[in-house]
Amino acid sequence: MNPNPSHSPIFQVMYGDALVNLDDHFPSLVNASERAICLASDPVAGADFFEFSINNMFSHLLGWDYEKAMSTPEGGLFGKLRAHYGTAEFTDHGVLHGHFLIWLDGGLNPTDVHTKMKTDPKWQRQFFDFFEDIIHHHLPDTEDIVPPGFEP
């Protein structure tokens, strides 16, 4: 997870830029240099943005209920989480990013996964087919017209 505050309208609002309208489909932001200066001048806002992003990722994408410290009844993208662990570090650009390990409810332990990989070719194929199906490295199809000067 690598949320980038310098390109985020949400960070700009957290920083205090009252001119950013989060209701706009493509919010108008100050130029990239000014956004970088905002981030450098308020690292606490950058850390708050990182925490906000991670909490929302776990709540809305992975289905974690922080109040109950457990998965929501409907779970998330990968099913129900049994637990998760994460650690944060700074990138070369000085922004936080995280590495996370999640345990899925009903999932196999690593020893069982290794054993099945070695002994069951059908299971191995299904395992890799699953990841090929859920992991995408492209922008989603959209009918929106992105303004030429928009910086993601």
**3-class secondary-structure state, position 92:** coil
Q: What are phi and psi of 143, to 5 degrees?
A: -100, 0
Question: pLDDT-based confidence at 85, cuts 50/70/90?
Answer: very high
The CA–CA distances, whole Å, from 123 to 80, 105, 113, 127 equal 21, 19, 10, 6
HSE (CB half, 13 Å, CA atoms) of 6? 15
Question: How far, in Å, CA of 137 to CA of 93, rounded?
Answer: 23
Give the model confidence (pLDDT) of 107-152 as tens digits.
Answer: 888 899 999 999 999 999 999 998 888 887 766 677 777 777 776 6
pTM of the model: 0.72
More confident residue, 14 or 134: 14
Question: How far, in Å, CA of 37 to CA of 33, rounded?
Answer: 6
Question: How far, in Å, CA of 132 to CA of 126, rounded?
Answer: 10
Question: How far, in Å, CA of 13 to CA of 50, rounded?
Answer: 14
Give the model confidence (pLDDT) of 20-43 as tens digits.
Answer: 999 998 898 999 899 989 999 999
Question: How far, in Å, CA of 24 to CA of 20, rounded?
Answer: 9
The type of residue at 82 is: R
